[in-house]
């Protein structure tokens, strides 16, 4: 039977678009007639209209003759005749919806152009419209082998009139002559269905649960019976042959069963434990895991201290080893046991991370005034190192024992007075029995006076104030150590501290007028660190020889060099000494004080010119 005849043997009617090429129209008429069809000169009510897609005539024919009351009139491309000939049957128009062509959208995930073209022709031959957009299309065709396909399914899952299908779906529908969308299946959202009973716990379930808890946590005191991990491990045993029963309930149900019936189940667990008698910490119990492998400890070598000898490059003008920061902590030891004409003693500098470095006097027979501020350090002293030649402000003082050295005149404009700090230190050195005894006996040489001026000053001070009250003599003339008592708790201060408060007004005034580089008694008592005054020590104030004169001034004036300089500044700028002294006490710099009052005098002269 010819393919262009219906079941009743009637020929199928065709109308060909008039503006097609004559050779195409002649070929179509010949093929249709040979296959049992008939070509009409007018648009039939029931039949096919052969058009060329995309032309103006095709659009005009659709507007005029495509109506909902004629669902059996179909518009197909003129290639439809050849496709039916190839298929060997009349292709049914299955891709229609409510009398109109079903709209399709071919997604870009189908990237092969030939596949897209063949798919579009199949849809057109079966009555569909493959030119719709993704938003207006009823069916979206995509490649199921890409991730985009799943994203499209998830995006349009809630849209009722939108379907996501594979490109193979078109061929399947044509072969079956029916449109069947991929069905949706029911997925259990969870929870129990209404009216459905839950899985009840049986006595056997409770017995198995008690055996599990008795094996993992035999003693309730260790804790963990109401935790989650114990019952999650129980469900993980479902693949074991003897633990198939665990799938009867969820791990949350097993946990809640014990939690709500713990009082009753604990007695059963205790009976099982008493029968098995496990030991706490046995392998397999909950919470006990294999100890990690110990790693061998590598011995750490301690860094060896480096011995640094102070040389000329790192000694300051007083001969003390420099190179230390202002914030570094260091101590100065007590006076060494050996005293000689050329040196008073050894000062031991101790810094964290550095060895002991011996430091001698300043090269001209004078000790450092800070040496008595710290107790001796118990560490062993290193051999003495000869200091470099004196330089700086202290270089003007001659060595008192040099045999061929002529004493030069100092550069100070006025005689210097001994510092309050050094006066007690000199008395300490000149007092018999105050120095620590050397290990091999008493020193071979007694202390030598520093110079005549200091000796006379110390003698006068001793005569005026008398011996220290804290010094007590025994019957054999030796001194005791009672003066080194310290204050304990809220006890009254020792005698030496009370005596220290009764200094004369001259000493208090001299202490206030010291240079800022020195640390007075109050600063040393309240400062958190006494290292700043030791890091940059200034040359001590000393008296000039009594028989020497400096710049025409006699030493009988007994005026300190700082006071004399302040008087000179006041005389030069014609301001009062009190004004100059007040500003100097605030700034602590002599040159800054001189420059300030000189500028003040120049400004007054400029303002009040007559």
CA distances from 406 to 397, 403, 478, 551 (A): 11, 9, 40, 19
Q: Which residues contact 572 (CB under 8 A, 6 or more apart)?
A: 594, 597, 598
Question: What are the tens digits of pLDDT across the range 350-388?
Answer: 444 444 444 444 444 444 444 444 444 444 445 555 555
pTM of the model: 0.36
Q: In DSSP terms, which residues pair with 51 in a beta bridge?
A: 77
Sign of the alpha-carbon torsion through 481, 486, 489, 490: positive
Q: What is the pLDDT of residue 484?
A: 66
Q: What is the pLDDT of residue 388?
A: 54
387 φ/ψ angles, rounded to the nearest 5 degrees: -75, 165
Q: Are 487 and 497 in contact (CB under 8 A)?
A: yes
* 3-class SS of residue 111: coil
Under the banding of pLDDT at 50, 70 and 90, the label for residue 231 is very high
Q: Are 294 and 285 in contact (CB under 8 A)?
A: no
CA-closest candidate to residue 60, choices 18, 30, 121, 118: 18
What is the rounded distance in angstroms from the CA atom of residue 472 to the CA atom of residue 478?
8
Question: What are the tens digits of pLDDT across the range 471-514?
Answer: 445 444 445 555 567 777 787 877 776 666 665 555 666 666 65
What is the rounded distance in angstroms from the CA atom of residue 286 to the CA atom of residue 602?
93
Under the banding of pLDDT at 50, 70 and 90, the label for residue 588 is confident
74 φ/ψ angles, rounded to the nearest 5 degrees: -120, 140
Q: Which residue has the tokens 């200034």?
A: 538
Question: What are the tens digits of pLDDT across the range 399-457?
Answer: 444 444 444 444 544 445 555 544 554 454 455 544 444 444 444 444 444 444 444 44
> Which of 31-35, 536-540, 587-591 is predicted least confidently?
536-540
Beta strands in 339-480 (DSSP E): 347-351, 357-359
On the question of pLDDT at 35 being above 50, the answer is: yes
Under the banding of pLDDT at 50, 70 and 90, the label for residue 185 is confident
Q: What is the pLDDT of residue 384?
A: 53
Interval 541-557 mean pLDDT = 43
Q: What is the pLDDT of residue 30?
A: 92
Q: What is the pLDDT of residue 368?
A: 45
* 3-class SS of residue 94: coil
Q: What is the pLDDT of residue 503?
A: 58
* 3-class SS of residue 518: coil
Question: What are the tens digits of pLDDT across the range 148-178?
Answer: 999 999 889 888 889 999 999 999 999 898 9
Helix (H), strand (E) at residue 15: strand 13-16
Under the banding of pLDDT at 50, 70 and 90, the label for residue 132 is very high
CA distances from 577 to 200, 201, 563, 568, 583 (A): 107, 106, 9, 9, 10
Q: Are 217 and 224 in contact (CB under 8 A)?
A: yes
Region of 466 on the Ramachandran plot (φ > 0 left; ψ -120 to 50 alpha; else beta) = left
Interval 61-85 mean pLDDT = 88
Q: What is the pLDDT of residue 336?
A: 44
What is the rounded distance in angstroms from the CA atom of residue 540 to the CA atom of residue 514?
10
Q: What is the pLDDT of residue 405?
A: 45
Q: What percent of the chain has pLDDT over 70?
A: 56
Neighbours of 36 (CB within 10 A): 17
Under the banding of pLDDT at 50, 70 and 90, the label for residue 346 is very low
On the question of pLDDT at 597 being above 80, the answer is: yes
On the question of pLDDT at 5 being above 70, the answer is: yes
* Average pLDDT along the chain: 71
* 3-class SS of residue 398: coil
Please tell me which of 390-394, 399-403, 518-522, 577-581 the model is most confident about, judged by mean pLDDT. 577-581
Q: What is the pLDDT of residue 401?
A: 46
Question: What are the tens digits of pLDDT across the range 191-206?
Answer: 666 766 678 899 999 9
On the question of pLDDT at 265 being above 90, the answer is: yes
């Amino acid at each position: 039977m010819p393919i262009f005849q219906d079941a009743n043997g009637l020929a199928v009617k065709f109308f060909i678009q008039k503006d097609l090429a004559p050779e195409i129209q002649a070929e179509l008429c010949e093929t249709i007639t040979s296959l049992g069809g008939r070509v009409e000169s007018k648009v039939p009510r029931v039949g096919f209209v052969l058009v060329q897609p995309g032309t103006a005539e095709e659009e005009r024919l659709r507007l005029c003759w495509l109506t909902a009351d004629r669902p059996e009139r179909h518009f197909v491309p003129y290639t439809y005749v050849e496709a039916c000939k190839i298929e060997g049957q009349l292709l049914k128009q299955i891709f229609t919806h409510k009398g109109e062509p079903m709209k399709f959208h071919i997604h870009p995930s189908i990237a092969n152009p030939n596949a897209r073209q063949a798919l579009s022709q199949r849809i057109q031959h079966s009555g569909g419209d493959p030119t719709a957009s993704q938003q207006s299309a009823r069916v979206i065709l995509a490649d199921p082998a890409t991730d985009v396909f799943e994203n499209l399914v998830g995006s349009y899952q809630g849209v009722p009139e939108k379907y996501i299908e594979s490109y193979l779906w078109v061929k399947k529908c044509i072969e079956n002559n029916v449109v069947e969308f991929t069905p949706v299946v029911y997925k259990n959202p969870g929870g129990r269905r209404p009216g459905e009973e839950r899985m009840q716990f049986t006595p056997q379930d409770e017995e198995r649960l008690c055996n599990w808890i008795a094996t993992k946590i035999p003693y309730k005191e260790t804790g963990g019976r109401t935790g989650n991990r114990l019952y999650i491990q129980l469900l993980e045993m479902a693949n074991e042959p003897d633990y198939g029963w665990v799938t009867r309930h969820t791990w949350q149900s097993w946990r809640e069963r014990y939690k709500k019936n713990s009082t009753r189940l604990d007695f059963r667990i205790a009976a099982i434990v008493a029968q098995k008698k496990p030991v706490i910490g046995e392998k397999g119990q909950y919470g006990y895991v294999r100890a990690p492998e110990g790693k061998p400890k590598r011995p750490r070598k301690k860094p060896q201290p480096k011995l640094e000898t102070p040389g000329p490059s790192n000694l300051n003008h007083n001969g003390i080893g420099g190179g230390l920061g202002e914030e570094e902590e260091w101590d100065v030891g007590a006076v060494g046991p050996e005293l000689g004409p050329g040196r008073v003693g050894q000062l031991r500098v101790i810094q964290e991370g550095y060895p002991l470095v011996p430091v001698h006097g300043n090269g001209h027979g004078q000790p450092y005034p800070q040496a008595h501020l710290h107790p001796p350090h118990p560490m062993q002293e290193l051999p003495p190192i000869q200091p470099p030649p004196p330089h700086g402000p202290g270089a003007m003082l001659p060595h008192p024992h040099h045999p061929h050295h002529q004493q030069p005149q100092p550069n100070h404009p006025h005689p210097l007075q001994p510092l309050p700090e050094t006066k007690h230190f000199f008395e300490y050195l000149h007092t018999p029995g105050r120095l620590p005894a050397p290990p091999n006996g008493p020193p071979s040489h007694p202390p030598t006076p520093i110079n005549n001026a200091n000796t006379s000053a110390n003698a006068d001070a001793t005569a005026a104030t008398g011996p220290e009250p804290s010094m007590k003599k025994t019957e054999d003339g030796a001194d005791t150590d009672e003066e080194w008592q310290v204050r304990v708790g809220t006890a009254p201060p020792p005698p030496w501290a009370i005596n220290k408060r009764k200094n004369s007004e001259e000493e208090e005034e001299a202490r206030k007028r010291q240079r800022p580089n020195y640390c007075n008694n109050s600063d040393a008592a309240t400062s958190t660190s006494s290292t700043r005054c030791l890091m940059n020590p200034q040359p001590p104030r000393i008296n000039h020889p009594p028989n020497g004169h400096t710049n025409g001034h006699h030493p009988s004036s007994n005026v300190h060099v700082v006071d004399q300089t302040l008087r000179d500044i006041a005389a030069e700028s014609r301001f009062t000494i009190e004004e100059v002294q007040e500003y100097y006490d605030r700034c602590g710099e002599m040159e800054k004080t001189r420059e300030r009052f000189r500028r003040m005098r120049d400004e007054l002269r400029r303002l009040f010119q007559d």
